[in-house]
C-alpha cells in the first residue's frame, strides 16, 4: 500500500495545525495537500481557515468586515523558493453573524523537502502577528500511476468560474479538521489519480474502504467499488456515509485497481470519529457451544469477560460492564461467545483461544498485587497491538526510574511505533505508560524529565525538560529515538 510521505507528515503534525497568540486570541487553521497537473507539474495547495470571531471588524457597506495580512514563503535548504504576501478582506458579515472564512494558495514546486513559513496578522489589531513553520515533502507524481493527497471538503458544487477553489470543474471548500462528531454523518472528499491512461485498457476501478487503525482490520460494510475510465488525471469526488461508524480512529482509503483487480496506487485519509452508537450483542438466541464454553471454567467467566475490555469499542465496553454487574454466569458466557462470533465470524473459537492464551501470558508477565495483567498498561498495549518487535528494559538506574521501551515495526498502517513505560513506585511490577508516538495514545513531551525526576528539578511550561542533564546511565532518550 502506498502511503504518501507528505500525507504521513501531515498526520504526525501538520494537519489542521492551530496557530494561536496569547495576547490576541487570534485563531487560524492551516493545512496543505499535494496535487499534480500535466501542464505545470507538482503543486502544493495551502489552505487557511480564519476563525471569524477572533478577528476585529470595521463597518463596511451593509455589514462588518475584517482584513487579514498574510505572508507565506516556501524555503529549501535555507533559500526562499516561492511565496506570496497579500491582504485579504473577509466576506461582509451581516446581522452580527460572524462566520469563519477561507483562503487557498497554490504553488508550483519541484519534488523535494521544504519548509513552509506563514505569518498572519489582523490588520485592525495592534497586536503582534502569529507565525508557524511546517516541514513539507513534495513527492514526484509525474512518473507512473500515483495519487494526490485526499482533501476532506465542506462541500463541492459544479462551477465554470475560474478561481483558486475550482478544480476539475468543481468549486471545493476544504474542511481542515480530521475529527468527525456524531452530528456529521458523511465525509465528502476530493482526490486525483494520475497516469492511469498508461494502462492497456480504457477502464479501471476504485476501491473505497475504511480501516480501523487500532487493529488494522477492514470494516467490510463500508467497502465500495466503482468503475472509472482511465485518464491522465482521474478526479475522484466521493461522499462516504459514516452515520453507522462507531467511535474510533480510522483510515479512509482509495485504491486504484486495474481491470483484473491488481492494486496500482493507494491513498489514505486518517480521521477520528465520535459516535457512541447503541451497541447490543444479540445474546438471547445464542446457543452455548460446548467446546467454546469448556474452555472457560466457572470461576473465571467474569475474569475472561472483563479481559475483553482492551480490545473492545467504547460502546462494547459499556455493555461488558453492565453484564459484569448482573453477575449472571450464563449471560456472561453468552456475551463472550457473542463477542467473538461477531468480531471474527469465520473462526470465533480459534480466535478466542488465541486471545485467551495472550490474556494468560500478560497475567503472568504483568499482573501485580492490585491489578490483573490485562488491566495494566503493558498488558493492555500487548493485547491491543500484539507482541512488540523489540523491548529495551532498564531495571536498575541511579538516576532514572525503571523503564521499558517497546518498539513495533508495524501497527496496522503505522510503522515504527514506540511506547515507554516506567515504574515510579519501584515495587509491584506496576509499570505505567509514560509516552508513545502511536496515534491515540498518551503523548507526554515532558517524559524525559519525569523519568529522571529522581534527581532532576522540573522545567517550565515552555520547556518541561529544561533541567534534564546528561548523566551516567541516563540514555533513555537515545534509546527511544534510535529506532
Residue 474: its pLDDT value, please?
54
The pLDDT of 222-239, averaged and rounded, is: 94
Classify 367 in phi/psi space as left (phi over 0), alpha (psi -120 to 50) or beta: beta
Alpha carbon dihedral 376, 378, 384, 390, in 10-degree steps, equals -170
84-88: long-range pairs with CB below 8 Å, 24+: 87/123
pTM: 0.61
383 Cβ neighbours under 8 A, 6+ residues apart: 307, 310, 311, 355, 358, 359, 362, 374
Place of cell 507512473: 144
What's the pLDDT band for 263 if we cut at 50, 70, 90?
very high
Packing angle of the helix pair 348-366, 329-343 (nearest 10 deg): 110
What percent of the chain stands above pLDDT 70?
86
Has residue 200 got a pLDDT over 50? yes
What percent of the chain stands above pLDDT 90?
49
Neighbour-count burial of 388, counting CB atoms closer than 10 A to its CB (0-12 exposed, 13-18 middle, 19+ buried): buried
Identify whether the C-beta of residue 29 lies closer than 8 Å to the C-beta of residue 16: yes
Identify whether the C-beta of residue 214 lies closer than 8 Å to the C-beta of residue 249: yes
Q: How many residues does the chain have?
A: 483
Has residue 471 got a pLDDT over 50? no
From 196-200, 366-370, 396-400, the region with the lowest mean pLDDT = 396-400
**Model confidence pLDDT, tens digit, residues 303-351:** 999 999 999 877 788 888 988 987 788 889 888 988 888 888 888 899 9
Identify whether the C-beta of residue 6 lies closer than 8 Å to the C-beta of residue 151: no
Identify whether the C-beta of residue 397 lies closer than 8 Å to the C-beta of residue 410: no
From 129-138, 161-170, 299-308, the region with the lowest mean pLDDT = 161-170
From 72-86, 353-367, 390-404, 461-475, the region with the lowest mean pLDDT = 461-475
Amino acid at each position: 500500500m502506498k502511503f504518501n510521505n507528505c500525507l504521513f507528515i501531515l498526520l504526525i503534525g501538520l494537519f489542521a495545525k492551530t496557530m494561536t497568540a496569547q495576547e490576541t486570541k487570534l485563531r487560524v487553521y492551516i493545512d496543505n495537500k499535494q496535487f499534480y497537473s500535466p501542464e505545470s507539474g507538482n503543486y502544493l495547495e495551502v489552505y487557511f481557515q480564519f476563525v471569524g470571531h477572533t478577528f476585529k471588524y470595521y463597518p463596511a457597506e451593509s455589514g462588518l468586515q475584517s482584513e487579514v495580512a498574510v505572508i507565506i514563503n516556501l524555503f529549501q535548504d535555507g533559500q526562499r523558493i516561492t511565496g506570496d504576501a497579500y491582504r485579504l478582506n473577509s466576506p461582509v458579515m451581516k446581522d452580527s453573524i460572524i462566520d469563519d472564512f477561507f483562503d487557498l494558495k497554490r504553488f508550483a514546486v519541484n519534488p523535494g523537502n521544504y519548509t513552509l513559513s506563514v505569518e498572519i496578522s489582523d490588520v485592525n489589531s495592534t497586536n503582534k502577528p502569529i507565525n508557524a513553520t511546517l516541514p513539507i515533502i513534495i513527492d514526484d507524481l509525474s512518473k507512473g500511476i500515483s495519487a494526490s493527497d485526499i482533501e476532506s471538503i465542506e462541500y463541492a458544487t459544479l462551477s465554470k468560474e475560474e478561481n483558486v477553489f475550482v478544480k476539475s470543474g468543481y468549486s471545493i471548500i476544504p474542511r481542515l479538521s480530521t475529527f468527525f462528531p456524531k452530528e456529521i454523518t458523511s465525509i465528502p472528499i476530493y482526490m486525483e489519480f494520475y497516469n492511469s491512461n498508461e494502462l492497456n485498457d480504457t477502464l479501471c476501478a476504485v476501491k473505497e474502504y475504511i480501516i480501523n487503525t487500532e487493529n488494522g482490520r477492514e470494516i467490510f460494510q463500508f467497502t465500495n467499488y466503482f468503475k472509472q475510465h482511465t485518464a491522465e488525471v482521474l478526479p475522484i469526488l466521493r461522499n462516504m456515509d459514516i452515520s453507522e461508524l462507531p467511535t474510533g480512529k480510522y483510515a479512509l482509503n482509495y485504491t486504484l485497481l486495474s481491470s483484473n483487480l491488481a492494486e496500482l496506487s493507494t491513498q489514505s485519509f486518517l480521521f477520528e470519529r465520535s459516535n457512541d452508537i447503541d451497541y447490543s450483542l444479540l445474546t438471547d438466541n445464542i446457543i452455548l457451544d460446548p467446546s467454546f464454553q469448556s474452555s472457560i471454567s466457572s470461576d473465571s467467566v467474569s475474569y475472561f469477560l472483563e479481559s475483553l475490555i482492551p480490545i473492545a469499542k467504547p460502546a462494547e465496553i459499556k455493555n461488558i460492564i453492565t453484564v459484569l454487574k448482573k453477575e449472571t454466569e450464563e449471560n456472561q458466557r453468552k456475551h463472550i461467545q457473542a463477542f467473538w462470533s461477531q468480531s471474527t465470524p469465520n473462526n470465533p473459537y480459534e480466535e478466542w483461544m488465541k486471545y485467551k492464551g495472550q490474556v494468560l501470558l500478560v497475567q503472568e508477565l504483568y499482573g501485580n498485587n492490585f491489578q490483573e495483567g490485562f488491566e495494566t498498561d503493558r498488558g493492555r498495549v500487548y493485547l491491543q497491538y500484539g507482541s512488540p518487535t523489540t523491548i529495551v528494559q532498564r531495571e536498575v538506574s541511579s538516576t532514572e526510574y525503571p523503564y521499558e521501551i517497546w518498539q513495533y515495526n508495524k501497527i496496522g498502517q503505522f510503522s515504527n511505533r514506540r511506547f515507554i513505560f516506567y515504574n515510579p513506585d519501584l515495587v509491584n511490577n506496576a509499570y505505567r505508560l509514560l509516552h508513545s508516538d502511536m496515534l491515540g495514545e498518551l503523548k507526554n513531551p515532558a517524559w524525559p524529565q519525569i523519568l529522571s525526576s529522581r534527581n532532576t528539578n522540573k522545567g517550565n511550561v515552555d520547556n518541561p525538560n529544561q533541567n534534564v542533564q546528561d548523566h551516567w546511565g541516563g540514555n533513555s532518550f537515545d534509546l527511544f529515538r534510535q529506532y
